[in-house]
Amino acid sequence: MTRVSSFSVPIRVYMEDTDAGGIVYYVNYLKFMERARSEWLRCHSLNQQALLLENTQLVVYRLTCHYAKPARLDDDLTVTAEVTDLGRCRATFDQTVEREGELLCSATVEIACLNATSMKPKQWPTQVFKVFNISDS
């Protein structure tokens, strides 16, 4: 059964992603998931380099990850990202890593939008609210 998700990116496994156990090193799935979140942000006109220049920084403040099956060198993976909750200064992403429709890894990743200097919460840029048809006033 192929799972359905609103947003996904393809990611190929390279040698850099693997470990001596012959599988993808477990923390690297979290890098794959951030790539998917970055592309989701890009699709919604949020460029993180531009945000940094505006003194806005997105940080992960909580994550839960469950590993079901390992990926291996040269695998072609599909990494999904779906926003399941959006606050004024934070968002929750549900994410999966799949290989040919088989679930390898799933995670819930909570990110905060911060003032990069003070590291205090800062409201999302306006376009994020527009995407979700939420008023930012």
Determine if 49 is a binding residue for a copy of itself (CB under 8 A). Answer: yes
Decide whether 3 or 72 has the Cβ nearer to a copy of itself.
72
Active-site residue, 136 included: no
**Of 45, 54, 61, 127, the one binding a copy of itself by CB under 8 A:** 61
The continuous run of DSSP H or E covering 37 comes out as helix 28-43
Question: By C-alpha distance, which of 76, 107, 80, 81 is closest to 14?
Answer: 76
* Residue 116 is a binding residue for a copy of itself (CB under 8 A): yes
With vertex at residue 24, the alpha carbon angle to CA 92 and CA 5, rounded to the nearest 5 degrees, is 35
Binds a copy of itself (CB under 8 A): choice among 27, 100, 135, 137: 27
